[in-house]
Each structure stands twice: as structure tokens, then as C-alpha cells.
Amino acid sequence: MRFRRLMLACSILALGAASKAEDLRSAVDADYPALESLYHGLHSNPELSTQEVKTAKRLAEEARAAGFTVTEKVGGTGIVAVLKNGPGPTLMLRTELDALPIEEKTGLAFASHVRTKNPAGVEVPVMHACGHDIHMTVWTGVARRMAANKDKWSGTLVMIGQPAEETVGGADRMLKDGLFTRFPRPDFNLAIHDSERFPSGTVAYVGGYALAASDSVDIEVKGIGGHGAKPQTTKDPVVLASYIVVALQTLVSRNNNPFDPAVVTVGSIHGGEKHNIIGNSVHMQLTVRTFRDETRVMILDGIKRIVLNQARAFGMPEDMLPEVTISESTPSTYNDPELVNRLVPALEKAVGKDNVRPGELNTAAEDFSLYGRVEPKIPSASITIGAIEPKKFAATADKTTIPGPHSPLFAPDAEPTIKTGVIAMTSMALELLKKP
């Protein structure tokens, strides 16, 4: 008898959980036409990093309409929306506001045709090629759902719209502008990112390291120019730069632990103007990706060591050694394993166990990582939502050929991606803010 009562109680609880999940799905379905309109508007009107004035204003309006108290111009164009709902923990949900200087080639009816001037004053095309328009739409849907379901949770919800993620400067600026002092300091941080690596309707998670640290490295290789027919009278920076490129490969292949991923890519190298002229300099641009902080230091120090000593080996005087500049830096994103383990069951209930799967390390990078690194550290997690139409995904043998973020052809399967994102993030928020 006791066993039957226990089974009955478990069945009632299971039905209750299924009912709540179904209620959420129905609410998201009903809200989708408005969310789709928002998505199309955001996609058609992208703004570059630090220029997200109209985008921030639109999201601020959406949050206020949902009942949040909103502060604008945090860390530049950032917004902070706060909804207090009794005692309990504080949860921060982040979305990004900015787009990329890419000319869109998706052919979508609502494709971006925006052109604007970048910070250097150069006119460039602009596109939401990284899915931030998807993220903002999901963020808005979550704000609506959490405001409409205040009876199901208790605590404080802080939703932020972060500028300048693409240039990895927005998170730092928001923190320096008092994000965790002027506003409630979170007990948890959450973010999502869409991806071409999974079909739409699915959610992927990683515990531990999830996204890489990123550093941009500029190297100015100096030389002594002259006539190309008389190289003995010069110090050729092109040859020196070539040796540096080859030597840099040893940092990963011979200096780094092969079980600790790292990437050193020379993305640009430019020097000289004509066939028969040896120039005075070569400019190199690198991107570096690492996960462990110790590896990051080793790689960056190794770049400086190789660059300077290759120049010395070529006989360059000390006052003409190359200059190495590191910029656009952000540390790796670490998903708190305990937090992820808590969120996975909630995700499985919300979108179905078959639609929740382990993800994998990603050498892409972003500055969401900074929010979890403040002292004392805040448990944080970035969850991935699939963005490719399932039949197309299944029919593509080589998944690397599917256009993804930063491609001019990236066109997420919008409806299921947005709906899944809203359901997933709302479910995680309800889990972390559930009543005792």
C-alpha cells in the first residue's frame, strides 16, 4: 500500500511538471508572433560595438513593458533591468547588443542592408552574423515569461543587455560602471549562444571550460630597407617575419601539452610595396586561443620570446627589435560544473531529454567569462542552443560546411531556435529562483 501511494505521488508530481512545461510552451507559442517581429526588426537594423543606441533603447522598452525597473547607459550603451519578487537568490541573465562589420549574403527578406562608419571612420556593412539578434529576442521572451509567472519563483532577476561583446570590451565596462555594486549582485550568471553545431530545438551543455580565452597580437617587425637587387645592404623584414611565422608553430606543437588545447593563428601579414624594393617593416596580426590561465601566459610569453630572439638571430640591433602589442583580450569561459548539473534536469523537463545533449569545447571566445571571475567568484554557465534546421543538419555529412557565426551566410532556423531558447532559459531561471 505504501509503495502504491508513493508511486501515485510520483505520478502526480510528474504530471505537474509536464503540465508546467506544457503551459510554458503554450505561452511561448502565443508570444511568438510578437517575438518574430522583434527579431526581424533587430536583424534588419544592426549596430556595431559601442554604437548600439537604438538597439539598447528597444530592449529597454521591452523590459519596462514587462514590468522591470530599467537603467540605461551602463558601461556605455548597456542596460540593466531588475525585477524584485520577494526573498531569495539573485540571478543575472545576459544578452549581447552588438553586430559585426560583415556584408550579409543570406538572401533573407529581412536581411540587413545597413552601412555605417566604424570607430576608425571607415564605412562598413553591418550584420547580425553572430546571432545576437536571436539572443536579444530570447532575452525579451524570458523577461515576459518571468514577469507573467511571478507566483512560481522568488528572488531577484537582473537582466542585462551588454554592448561590445564582439570587441570583448562591454563586460569590463559594465563591471567598472558598477554592475555589481549599483545593482543587486548575482548569486548565479547565465547566458545562451546559438550555434550551427546542433539542430534547432536542441540544447547543449558543457561543464568546466566551455569557451576559450582570446588575445589579439600585433607584431611590428622592423627592418632596414633597400634595393631588392642588393639584399646584402638591407635587413629584410619579410624574411624575418617568415621565420617568425614558422617558429610560432612550435608553441603549440612543441611547448604545449597536447591534452591542453591552444591555437596560434597568423591571420594577417603585410610588408613591402613593390617587387624590387625591400621595405622597412612588416605588420603581423595573430589570434591566440587557450583555456587554462597558465597556458595563456605561456603562449603569450612565448610569442614575445620567439619574436625578439628571431630578430636578434637576424642581427637586428636592440633598438630595432620588433614591437609586440596584445589587445582585445578576454579570459576563458568556465561553466561551473555544479551549476550545470543542477540545470540539466530542468532543461530535460522543459525541452525533452532527447533534445538535451553534452556539448564540446569551443575555441570561440567572448567576455561573458568576466562576470564569473569577480571575487568572490560567481557560479556561471553559458548554454548552447542549436540553430540549424534539423533536416538540413542531418543531410549535411560534413558539418563544418554549415555556415555558422561570423559567416555572411549565417541564417538561424529562427522559430524553433527562439522558442527553444525562451523555454530553456526560462526553465533554468525558474529552477534557480524556485520557491523553497
Longest Cα–Cα distance in the chain: 99
Helix (H) / strand (E) containing 181: none
Q: Which amino acid is at 214?
A: S
Read off the pLDDT of residues 48-87 as tens digits, 9 standing for 90 and up: 999 999 999 999 999 999 999 999 999 999 999 999 999 9
For residues 38, 41, 47, 50, the Cα torsion angle rounded to the nearest 10 degrees is -20
CATH code: domain 14-211+332-432 is 3.40.630.10
Return averaged pLDDT per consecutive 10 residues of the chain, 436 residues in all: 45 46 91 98 98 98 98 98 98 98 98 97 98 98 98 98 96 98 98 98 98 98 96 96 98 97 97 96 98 98 98 96 96 98 98 96 96 97 98 96 97 98 98 94
DSSP class of 131? S
Distances (CA, A) of 93 to 60, 136, 210, 278: 14, 11, 17, 54
User: Cell 539598447 belongs to which residue?
Assistant: 56
Q: pTM value?
A: 0.92
One-character DSSP codes across 199-265: ETT-EEE-SEEEE-EEEEEEEEEE-B-EETT-GGGSB-HHHHHHHHHHHHHHIIIIIS-TTS-EEEE
40: three-class secondary structure by DSSP? helix
Q: Which residues contact 295 (CB under 8 A, 6 or more apart)?
A: 256, 257, 260, 262
Task: Identify whether 376 is preceded by a cis peptide bond (ω within 30 of 0).
Answer: yes
Q: Which residues contact 211 (CB under 8 A, 6 or more apart)?
A: 332, 333, 362, 363, 364, 365, 366, 368, 369, 382
Query: Cα dihedral sign for 10, 355, 165, 263?
Result: positive
What pLDDT is recorded for position 9?
46
What pLDDT is recorded for position 436?
84
CA distance 247 to 295: 18
Q: Which residues contact 40 (CB under 8 A, 6 or more apart)?
A: 110
Contact call for residues 356 and 241 (beta carbons, < 8 A) = no
* C-alpha cell of residue 368: 561573458
Query: Cα dihedral sign for 394, 395, 397, 402?
Result: negative
Query: Cα dihedral sign for 347, 349, 351, 354?
Result: positive
What pLDDT is recorded for position 11?
40
Read off the pLDDT of residues 184-204 as tens digits, 9 standing for 90 and up: 999 999 999 999 999 999 999
Q: Which of 308, 313, 301 is nearest to 256 (CA)?
A: 301
CATH topology of domain 213-330: Alpha-Beta Plaits (3.30.70)
* C-alpha cell of residue 248: 610560432
Q: Which amino acid is at 4?
A: R
Contact call for residues 121 and 108 (beta carbons, < 8 A) = no
What pLDDT is recorded for position 15?
38
What pLDDT is recorded for position 20?
65
What pLDDT is recorded for position 21?
67
Terminal C-alpha separation, the chain: 29
Every domain of the chain and the residues it spans = 14-211+332-432, 213-330
Q: Which of 219, 393, 404, 390 is nearest to 306 (CA)?
A: 219
User: Cell 549599483 belongs to which residue?
Assistant: 182
What pLDDT is recorded for position 1?
47
Distances (CA, A) of 95 to 78, 171, 382: 10, 11, 11
Read off the pLDDT of residues 366-387 as tens digits, 9 standing for 90 and up: 999 999 999 999 999 999 999 9
Count of residues making up the chain: 436
78: three-class secondary structure by DSSP? strand
Q: Which of 429, 430, 423, 425 is nearest to 32 (CA)?
A: 423
